[in-house]
Each structure stands twice: as structure tokens, then as C-alpha cells.
């Protein structure tokens, strides 16, 4: 009797599951897909259902510690693999899809995932650099180019955008996101989702996106990758979850759990995140994949006794797909038979996975993304290389330019290019390079040579390595500098010193590079430092010495031409910092939208206030900072009325003038400060950006509309709303602007 009752309930639940999906169906095709999914689900055995929840590594390089090497092809033929990652190229993808759709009982196609993070073959600036452009159209286009190349190379799904907020430059993966600000991080997340997914997932060049890593991975204690995260729910929702919500609102198809323990519970099993917030409250209808073996790692964390226990906890938290632990395919059936996991739970996960495969059109044409002919034709086409060059140009941030040393123009007849990153192809593309090939990268030396101004000469000397103590190259470098009018140094981190598992406790420029810079500065000639890094570096030991500093991040395949465009003045640098540059690592985590504390200031002789006795509190370069070859003047900021109501917005405006001699772009930034809340509020919060191009002498009025909804936050009882009260609004060129006005939000 009991078994029959269980079956009846299961049928009802399954029915409910279907109707839940059907109710959410937004279009007729959604409903058709829901019906097809349901019909397929009914035919599937429990083994086949669980197989859809199993993702294994393909023949490409593993992107995590391989823990199990199941006989994948045999598992695939039995219908026990639903997805593969790291399958290189369309030919390999074609072979695997062919097995899936011809040799399995139900012919369900695979969904093939890959880390298309900042380009597939044409590599764009690393994401933190791309974000420094503050040009959302350019950022979206970069994702679109990446999706186009990946979509003909067998990739159906990218594990991007990485939307983790990062406030600590020690954390290597700060390179992969959009920096420290939740507002801007949300805009970038949505732009990247749109770029990858296009207008419809069924389109030829659309690939499913994946918001990762859910959640708060960037708050790893001490900036050490994979370390625990222990933050308040208020900070979690106020800062770290906002870009994820923006990804859901932009229609992101999938999510990925993060590795970290959040408040004592690993994210993969943390019901506050997926089960309660993502799926229940945000009504997310896509699916969630674990990160690489993050299910299995619960045993290592010490929150699961074995993989079976981990699998039970992960499915209880509605993690739908197991990346490379083989926990689901090994233990879920047993858990169902023991009554610990219901068929309804399995069905919910499988329904989500099958729905995406239908949306991508993989049932109609499993080989839609396996197009070797188009792969050869489209990859690295000139238009894509131009887009990458444009994105790189826009990513550079001019941090210093004493006496207008830059751009290098007719004033200089001879250039000495020195430093270990001047002629390094592999370092230009950074990490997470997809199928990018360093040999395709154009180095800074090549770029500067190709665009050398008439009558000028350039001499190159490496001088030293990125790491190590060898100074034997100094002599040649100093000789080259002595013979030149201007010295350009290409220094910083190697491309593989930021990214996953690449945190640093010391964030200064490594090796003997700074020592070489000091020797060159002694020659009394202007020294331009072009800094390559995947994170904010502590540049205090060069900031007073170099005449100019250009933050170049890792610019990608077209590094050289883009650097020449800016260094020779064909394009005025317009980038702004998406993450604060500290004076020293001891200030980390450091970010502009900090709280005031009860003792924010004091005179230097007063002891009892919030400060360091050995450094100022202020960063070396603040969030939003970036110079130009032009100069911009801002009129006093105006508000069209002094009261903002819950229903009626206010308009904030400034007049911006290019008082320089060259055309240039400026990122106009709007910040607010809530002077009093039911909880303490940040001293500044970015609430508007506008990137404008101004010709020399041109002025333009820039307007922002501010609504009460823009001022909402998680109040004392964690309700998300704006509270009436007094505010300041600031509009200027970076987060330090004092161009302010006031307004009051009235009930």
C-alpha cells in the first residue's frame, strides 16, 4: 500500500513540477518545450535522469584536479553523461555528440561547456581590464565576438560571466570580474550575459551563459583563493549578490556554485543561496552546475562524511549538475531507493537541464555548434581583431602623466623600450585564455615598431625578467636608455600570476624590475611605466619615480597595436579603475564604498581615530580614477529639485567641458551618500555612469535620473527599500569628487 501511495504522490509532484514549469512559460515555444521535456522525462529511467546531471571532463586540458577517470565513452553510451566540458574544437564535439544522439537509448544531446572568459580564440583584455573601459557596448560586443567564435567550435555553453565582487587585490581571481562595485558589476554582468546569449539561445551564434561563482567567492579571507568567507547576510545581499540578481534579470541560462564555505556551510550546499534565494525568491528557471568537484570537496571541508552525503546535501540545495565529482551518478539512485532523495527532486533538476538543451536547439540540431568550415572562416577574422584592439585601447588607465610626457610624439626622436613584458607574447593574453594561442598575440615592441612615428627610432632591451634576481641585463638597458630621449618600461606581473589559484600576499611589482626602473630614473630622462597586471598592484615604489604610469592589465591578442595607439597619441586613454589601487597590501581589503566608522578623521597628532600610524587611509589611486590626454572641467552639479519622492525622480546634471587640445572620452560618474540609515551606509555609492566623447573645447550637459528605487538597500530588518532622509549627490571624474549637491528623499 505504502509503495502505491508513494508512487501516486510522486506522480502528482511530477505533475506539479510540469505545471510549475508550464505556468512560468512566457511564450508558446516555452510551453512547447515544457511539453517536450515532460514527454521525454516520462520515458527516462532513473539512471538516465541522473545521467543528465553528470558532467565530466572531455579531451581538453582539465581545469581542476581530476579525481575520477570513469570510462567516459561507455558511460556516455549508457546515457550516464549529460554534459562535458573542455572538449577542444568542433571535430571533437561532433564525435561526442554523434555518440550521444546515435548510440544512446533516448538520443539526448550533450551540452558542451567551456570557459570562454575573455575571448575564445581572439583574446580580449582580461575581464578586469575590459571593465576598466566603462564602455558597456564594448564589453557586450567582446562577449558577442567570443560567443561567435566559440559557437562554431563545438561550444554550447560558457562558464561566464564571472560576476564575483572583489575588494581584495591579493585574490588572484579579481582578474576575472568587474572589480569592487555592485552597481557597475551588475551592469557589466548583464552586458556580458547579453553578449554571450544574444537575443535568443536558439540563434546560431548564441551560447548559454553562466553566472559564477555563487556566492561571495571574492570575499575569501586574506584574499587567499578557496578560503572561507564569513560575512553578514547584509553584506552578502548588499554587495555580493547584486550582480547575480542582475544576471538573472538579464536572463542568464545557468549558475555555478562557488568553492567557498559561506558562514560555515559550503556554497554548494548552502540553502540560503540556491534553494531559497536563487530559485525560490528570484524564481530562477535555469540550472545550477557545481564548480569543479565542489560537491566532493564538501568532504574535505568537513561538512560531509563522504561523497554520498555530499551528493545528498548538494541535491537538497538544488545543485542540478555535478561537475567532475561523479557523486550524483554514483550515489543519487541509492539515495532515492533509501527515500532520502525524491524522484521529484531529480525530475526538477533534469527538467531544467533538458529545457536548456531544447532552448539551445540541440534536439533539433545537436551539431549546430560543430561547424569546422565556419570555425576556420570566422575565427580571428579582421573585424574581431579590430574589436579586440578597440577594447584593449579602452581598457588602459592613465594613472600619472607628469608634464604631459605622454603621448610620445614629435617631441621625441629616440625611444628606449625596456622591461620583461615588452616583447612577451604569452604574457599579453593572461590566464583563462580559452583556445587563445600566445603565438597570435602582438607584443608591445612589435606594436610600437609598426607604428613608429616618422624619423623616430626605437631600441629594445629586456633588462631583467619578471621574477628572479638576475640583473645582468641592466647594463644593456641602461645603455639603451642613455641613448634615447624617452624611456618606456614594460613591467608588472607575468600573465600567469593572477587568475584561479594565483593569489599573492605581496602585490608589488616582483623581481628586479623596480630596481631597474630606479637605475633608469637616475639618468634624468622621462620614464614611462606601462604596468601589466591582472590585479591592482601596490605601485607606491614607482609612483613618485616614473614620469607617467599607464595601467595596461593584460590587453589580449591585439596588445601591441592598442598600446601603440595610446602611447603615440592616436587614442587618448579613457579607462577608469574598476578596483581601488592600494598604497600597500596592508590596506587590503580596500574599496571606495566603505563605511564612515565612528572616528573617520583626526589630526595627525591625535591617536584615537580609525587610521594606520604608518600609512594614510587613502588609496594610491581611487576607484573610478583615470587621466586623459585631454582635461575635463565640470560645472557645479545641479538637481532639478531638492526633494525626491518615492514616486517622482529627480534629475541631476552637470556641464562637462573638454578644455584640452585633443578629442577624448570621459566617464562621468554619479555617486550618492545616504547621510543616515537604519543601518550604517557607505560614504559613497556609484549610481550612474555616462561615457562621452568630447572634441577639444566642446561642452555637453550630462543628465542622470535618480529614482527612490536607486537608493534602496537592506535595512535594519533586511527589507530592501529606500528610507526617507537627507542625501548628498556627487558627479565627477572619479569616486573622490567633491562636486556635490544635496536632496531629501521624502516618504
Minimum CB distance to ligand GLC, residue 82 (Å): 16
CB 327, CB 296: distance < 8 Å: yes
Helix 513-521 / helix 474-482 crossing angle, nearest 10 deg: 30
CB 573, CB 447: distance < 8 Å: no
For ligand GLC, give the closer residue by CB, 190 or 211.
211
Q: 667: number of CA atoms within 13 Å, CB side?
A: 30
Minimum CB distance to ligand GLC, residue 598 (Å): 39
For ligand GLC, give the closer residue by CB, 63 or 547.
63
Spatial CB neighbours of 303, under 8 Å, sequence gap ≥ 6? 261, 264, 265, 266, 269, 313
x/- mask, ligand GLC, residues 475-504, rule CB under 6 A, reads -------------------------x----
Spatial CB neighbours of 467, under 8 Å, sequence gap ≥ 6? 494, 510, 511
DSSP 20-88: HHHHH--SHHHHHHHHHHHHHHHH--HHHHHHHTEEEE-SS--SS-------HHHHHHTT---EEE---
What residues numbered 209-268 form the site for ligand GLC, per CB under 6 A? 212
Bond prior to 731 in cis (omega within 30° of 0): no
Instruction: Determine phi and psi for 418, rounding to 5 degrees.
Output: -130, 150
CA-CA-CA-CA dihedral for 100, 106, 109, 113, to nearest 10: -80
Minimum CB distance to ligand GLC, residue 212 (Å): 6
What cell was used for 510? 616582483
For ligand GLC, give the closer residue by CB, 54 or 733.
54
Does residue 115 belong to the site contacting ligand GLC (CB under 6 A)?
A: yes
Does residue 55 belong to the site contacting ligand GLC (CB under 6 A)?
A: no
Minimum CB distance to ligand GLC, residue 444 (Å): 29
For ligand GLC, give the closer residue by CB, 87 or 507.
87
Q: What sign for the dihedral angle of Cα 598, 600, 605, 608?
A: positive
- Terminal C-alpha separation, the chain: 60
Minimum CB distance to ligand GLC, residue 533 (Å): 20
Does residue 63 belong to the site contacting ligand GLC (CB under 6 A)?
A: yes
Of the residues 291, 322, 427, 674, which is catalytic?
291
x/- mask, ligand GLC, residues 80-109, rule CB under 6 A, reads -----x------------------------
- How far is 566 from 586, CA to CA, in rounded Å? 33
What cell was used for 322? 555535478
CB 664, CB 693: distance < 8 Å: yes
Does residue 297 belong to the site contacting ligand GLC (CB under 6 A)?
A: no
Specify the pairing of strand 548-551 against strand 527-532: parallel
Minimum CB distance to ligand GLC, residue 719 (Å): 33
For ligand GLC, give the closer residue by CB, 7 or 300.
300
For ligand GLC, give the closer residue by CB, 60 or 251.
60
Active site residue 734: no
Residue 525 class from Cβ within 10 Å (0-12 exposed, 13-18 middle, 19+ buried)?
A: middle
Residue of the chain from 17, 51, 58, 64 that contacts ligand GLC (CB under 6 A)? 64
Minimum CB distance to ligand GLC, residue 102 (Å): 27
Minimum CB distance to ligand GLC, residue 112 (Å): 12
Q: What does the buried/exposed string (b/e) look like for 442-454 if buried means 16 or more CB atoms within 10 Å of the residue's CB?
A: bbbbbbbbeeebe
Does residue 674 belong to the site contacting ligand GLC (CB under 6 A)?
A: no
Does residue 291 belong to the site contacting ligand GLC (CB under 6 A)?
A: yes
Minimum CB distance to ligand GLC, residue 159 (Å): 3
Minimum CB distance to ligand GLC, residue 60 (Å): 10
Which has the closest alpha carbon to 676: 582, 595, 737, 588?
595
For ligand GLC, give the closer residue by CB, 291 or 371.
291
Does residue 743 belong to the site contacting ligand GLC (CB under 6 A)?
A: no
User: Any idea which residue has 595601467 for its cell?
Assistant: 551
CB 148, CB 207: distance < 8 Å: no
Q: 20: number of CA atoms within 13 Å, CB side?
A: 16
Q: Does residue 91 sit in helix, strand or coil? A: helix
For ligand GLC, give the closer residue by CB, 212 or 462.
212
Residue 387 CA, chain-centre distance (Å), reads: 19
Does residue 185 belong to the site contacting ligand GLC (CB under 6 A)?
A: no
Which has the closest alpha carbon to 476: 530, 422, 533, 413?
422
Does residue 177 belong to the site contacting ligand GLC (CB under 6 A)?
A: no
Residue of the chain from 183, 292, 396, 632 that contacts ligand GLC (CB under 6 A)? 292
What cell was used for 600? 573617520
For ligand GLC, give the closer residue by CB, 229 or 481.
229
For ligand GLC, give the closer residue by CB, 72 or 348.
72
Which has the closest alpha carbon to 393: 263, 572, 232?
572
What cell was used for 373? 568550415
For ligand GLC, give the closer residue by CB, 159 or 184.
159
For ligand GLC, give the closer residue by CB, 65 or 404.
65
Minimum CB distance to ligand GLC, residue 162 (Å): 6
144: enclosing H helix or E strand: helix 136-151
User: Any idea which residue has 571593465 for its cell?
Assistant: 131
Count interface residues toward ligand GLC (CB under 6 A).
Answer: 9
x/- mask, ligand GLC, residues 7-46, rule CB under 6 A, reads ----------------------------------------
What cell was used for 309? 552525503
Q: 32: number of CA atoms within 13 Å, CB side?
A: 6
x/- mask, ligand GLC, residues 198-217, rule CB under 6 A, reads --------------x-----
For ligand GLC, give the closer residue by CB, 115 or 674.
115
Does residue 358 belong to the site contacting ligand GLC (CB under 6 A)?
A: no
Tell me how far CA of residue 477 lies from CA of 447, 524, 546, 636, in angstroms: 20, 15, 16, 48
CB 227, CB 259: distance < 8 Å: no
Does residue 171 belong to the site contacting ligand GLC (CB under 6 A)?
A: no
Minimum CB distance to ligand GLC, residue 591 (Å): 23
- How far is 451 from 455, CA to CA, in rounded Å? 12
Does residue 118 belong to the site contacting ligand GLC (CB under 6 A)?
A: no
Minimum CB distance to ligand GLC, residue 588 (Å): 22
Does residue 159 belong to the site contacting ligand GLC (CB under 6 A)?
A: yes
Q: Give the residue numbers annotated as catalytic, written as ranges.
A: 291
Binding residues vs ligand GLC (CB under 6 A): 63-64, 85, 115, 159, 212, 291-292, 500
Amino acid at each position: 500500500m505504502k509503495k502505491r501511495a508513494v508512487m501516486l504522490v510522486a506522480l502528482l509532484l511530477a505533475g506539479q513540477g510540469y505545471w510549475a514549469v508550464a505556468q512560468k512559460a512566457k511564450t508558446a515555444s516555452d510551453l512547447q518545450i515544457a511539453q517536450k521535456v515532460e514527454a521525454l522525462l516520462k520515458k527516462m529511467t532513473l539512471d538516465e535522469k541522473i545521467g543528465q546531471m553528470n558532467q565530466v571532463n572531455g579531451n581538453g586540458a582539465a581545469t581542476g584536479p581530476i579525481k575520477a577517470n570513469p570510462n567516459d565513452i561507455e558511460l556516455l553510451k549508457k546515457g550516464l553523461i549529460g554534459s562535458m566540458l573542455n572538449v577542444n574544437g568542433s571535430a571533437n564535439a561532433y564525435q561526442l555528440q554523434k555518440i550521444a544522439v546515435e548510440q544512446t537509448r533516448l538520443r539526448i544531446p550533450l551540452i558542451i561547456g567551456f570557459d570562454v572568459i575573455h575571448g575564445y580564440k581572439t583574446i580580449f583584455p582580461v575581464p578586469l581590464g575590459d571593465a576598466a573601459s566603462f564602455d558597456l557596448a564594448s564589453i557586450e560586443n567582446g562577449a558577442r565576438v567570443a560567443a561567435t567564435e566559440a559557437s562554431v567550435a563545438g561550444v554550447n555553453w560558457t562558464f561566464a560571466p564571472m560576476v564575483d565582487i572583489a575588494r581584495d587585490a591579493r585574490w588572484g581571481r579579481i582578474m576575472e570580474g568587474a572589480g569592487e562595485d555592485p552597481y557597475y558589476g551588475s551592469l557589466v554582468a548583464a552586458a556580458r550575459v547579453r553578449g554571450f546569449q544574444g537575443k535568443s539561445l536558439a540563434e546560431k551564434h548564441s551560447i548559454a551563459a553562466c553566472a559564477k561563482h555563487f556566492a561571495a567567492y571574492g570575499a575569501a579571507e586574506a584574499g587567499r583563493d578557496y578560503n572561507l568567507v564569513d560575512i553578514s547576510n547584509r553584506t552578502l545581499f548588499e554587495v555580493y549578490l547584486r550582480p547575480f540578481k542582475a544576471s538573472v534579470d538579464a536572463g542568464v541560462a545557468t549558475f555555478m556554485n562557488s568553492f567557498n564555505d559561506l558562514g560555515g556551510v559550503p556554497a554548494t550546499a548552502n540553502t540560503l543561496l540556491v534553494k531559497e534565494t536563487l530559485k525560490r525568491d528570484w524564481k530562477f528557471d535555469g540550472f545550477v552546475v557545481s564548480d569543479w568537484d565542489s560537491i566532493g570537496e564538501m568532504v574535505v571541508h568537513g561538512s560531509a562524511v563522504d561523497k554520498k552525503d555530499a551528493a545528498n546535501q548538494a541535491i537538497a540545495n538544488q545543485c542540478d549538475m555535478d561537475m567532475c565529482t561523479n557523486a550524483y551518478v554514483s550515489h543519487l539512485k541509492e539515495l532515492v531507493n533509501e527515500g532520502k532523495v525524491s524522484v521529484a527532486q531529480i525530475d526538477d533538476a533534469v527538467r531544467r537541464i533538458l529545457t536548456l538543451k531544447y532552448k539551445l536547439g540541440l534536439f533539433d540540431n545537436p551539431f549546430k555548434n560543430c561547424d569546422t568550415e565556419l570555425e576556420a572562416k570566422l575565427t580571428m577574422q579582421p573585424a574581431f581583431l579590430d574589436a579586440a584592439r578597440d577594447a584593449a585601447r579602452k581598457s588602459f588607465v592613465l594613472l600619472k602623466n607628469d608634464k604631459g610626457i605622454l603621448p610620445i610624439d614629435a617631441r621625441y626622436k629616440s625611444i628606449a623600450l625596456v622591461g620583461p613584458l615588452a616583447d612577451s607574447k604569452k604574457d599579453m593574453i593572461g590566464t583563462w585564455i580559452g583556445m587563445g594561442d600566445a603565438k597570435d598575440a602582438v607584443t608591445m615592441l612589435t606594436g610600437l615598431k609598426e607604428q613608429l612615428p616618422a624619423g623616430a627610432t626605437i631600441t629594445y632591451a629586456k633588462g631583467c625578467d619578471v621574477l628572479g634576481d638576475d640583473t645582468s641585463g641592466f647594463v644593456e638597458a641602461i645603455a639603451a636608455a642613455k641613448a634615447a630621449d624617452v624611456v618606456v618600461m614594460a613591467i608588472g606581473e607575468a600573465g600567469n600570476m593572477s587568475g584561479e589559484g594565483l593569489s599573492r600576499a605581496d602585490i608589488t611589482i616582483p623581481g628586479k624590475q623596480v630596481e631597474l626602473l630606479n637605475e633608469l630614473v637616475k639618468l634624468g630622462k622621462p620614464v614611462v611605466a606601462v604596468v601589466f597586471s591582472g590585479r591592482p598592484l601596490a605601485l607606491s615604489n614607482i609612483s613618485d619615480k616614473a614620469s607617467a604610469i599607464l595601467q595596461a592589465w593584460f590587453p589580449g591578442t591585439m596588445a601591441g597595436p592598442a598600446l601603440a595607439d595610446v602611447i603615440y597619441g592616436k587614442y587618448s586613454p579613457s579607462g577608469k579603475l574598476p578596483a581601488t589601487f592600494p598604497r600597500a597590501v596592508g590596506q587590503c581589503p580596500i574599496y571606495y564604498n566603505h563605511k564612515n566608522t565612528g572616528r573617520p578623521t583626526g589630526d595627525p597628532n591625535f591617536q584615537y581615530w580609525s587610521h594606520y600610524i604608518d600609512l594614510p587611509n587613502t588609496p594610491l589611486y581611487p576607484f573610478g580614477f583615470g587621466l586623459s590626454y585631454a582635461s575635463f572641467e565640470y560645472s557645479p552639479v545641479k538637481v532639478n529639485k531638492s526633494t525626491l519622492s518615492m514616486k517622482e525622480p529627480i534629475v541631476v546634471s552637470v556641464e562637462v567641458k573638454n578644455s584640452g587640445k585633443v578629442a577624448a572620452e570621459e566617464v562621468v560618474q554619479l555617486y550618492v551618500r545616504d547621510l543616515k540609515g537604519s543601518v550604517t551606509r557607505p560614504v559613497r555609492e556609484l549610481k550612474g555612469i555616462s561615457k562621452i566623447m568630447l572634441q577639444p573645447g566642446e561642452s555637453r550637459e550630462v543628465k542622470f535620473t535618480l529614482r527612490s528605487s536607486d537608493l534602496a538597500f537592506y535595512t535594519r530588518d533586511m527589507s530592501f527599500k529606500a528610507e526617507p532622509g537627507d542625501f548628498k549627490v556627487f558627479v565627477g571624474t572619479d569616486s573622490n569628487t567633491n562636486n556635490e549637491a544635496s536632496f531629501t528623499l521624502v516618504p
